[in-house]
Amino acid sequence: MMPEANDKNSDQAMQAAAEQKPAAVEPVVITQGRYIASAVRKDQYPERELPEIVFIGRSNVGKSFLINSLTRIRGLARVSAQPGKTQTINFFELTAKLRDEKTGEEEGRKDFYLVDLPGYGYAKTGKERRKIWKKFIDEYLLTSPNLQFVCQLIDIRHEPMASDVEMFQWLVEQHVPVLIVATKADKIGKNARQKNIAAIRRALGVKEISILPYSSVKNEGRSDLLDVIRETLV
């Protein structure tokens, strides 16, 4: 057994090494964000043209929680206990500070829009209302010249529903770049997570598609999603 004095010195050395270890650098930092506009027609879109990162998913998939987690701006997207509350295309203007991953030095700042689309698949939404939503959502997705890619959110706990598969296939057919984000990843264990991700791939019919697990509670997946956004902005 080592003498007590050596144990103390060892602890002090470990503490000193920990203090000297540089903190991890976040390559993307959202410095500000604000709501800009809600739209159901082209003439209601924001006048300023910026790159657009789009979020879509079934009602109650955790879209608002994810947006608030990603931006670290509490209450940016309104969270409602009642599904189907988002009924317009909502534009949020964000400013991202880009930093060198090794040195931490700022490489510049980029403004972009985070675009929140109404949730699909909510059974209590009337047929006529769903037709109206589909019309202005399709128009936006097919005609926006600034759309970079779509984050389609799917609940990792369950196999994709028919509406999830239909939306994914439509995006692919229309040549809209899409990233699958599997939400609520903290709700299941790691073994179940891999099994469910494989099930999502099978349901969507694409074996090689990248699926990003995300937990808004633990901010897991946040840095990975910000890295994808960074690649789009630079």
Along the chain (234 residues), what's the average pLDDT of each consecutive run of 10 residues?
43 47 75 94 95 94 93 82 66 94 89 93 57 84 96 96 94 96 96 95 91 96 94 90
Would you state the pLDDT for residue 10?
43
Please enumerate in sequence order all residues whose Cβ is within 8 A of that of 149, keeping only pairs 6 or more positions apart, or say none. Answer: 53, 54, 176, 177, 178, 179, 228, 232
Distance, in Å, from the CA atom of 222 to the CA atom of 224, rounded to the nearest integer, reads 5
Q: What integer pLDDT is reported at residue 129 of this predicted model?
A: 60
The predicted model scores a pTM of 0.84
- Which amino acid makes up residue 56? I
What amino acid occupies position 145?
A: P
What span, in angstroms and rounded, lies between the C-alpha atoms of 51 and 39?
17
**pLDDT of amino acid 160:** 95
Could you tell me the two tokens for 173?
């057919």
List the domain boundaries for the chain: 22-233
Q: 107 CB contacts (<8 Å, ≥6 apart)?
A: 98, 99, 100, 234
Do residues 219 and 226 touch, judged by C-beta distance below 8 A?
no
**Cα 40–Cα 41–Cα 42 angle in degrees, nearest 5:** 135
Task: Look up the CATH architecture of domain 22-233.
Answer: 3-Layer(aba) Sandwich (3.40)
pLDDT given for residue 132 in this prediction: 74
Written as six digits, the tokens of 151 are 């984050």
Taking only the tens place, the pLDDT of each residue in 174-198 is 999 999 999 999 999 989 999 999 9
**DSSP label at 157?**
T
Which uninterrupted H or E stretch holds 212? strand 211-213
pLDDT attached to residue 85 = 55
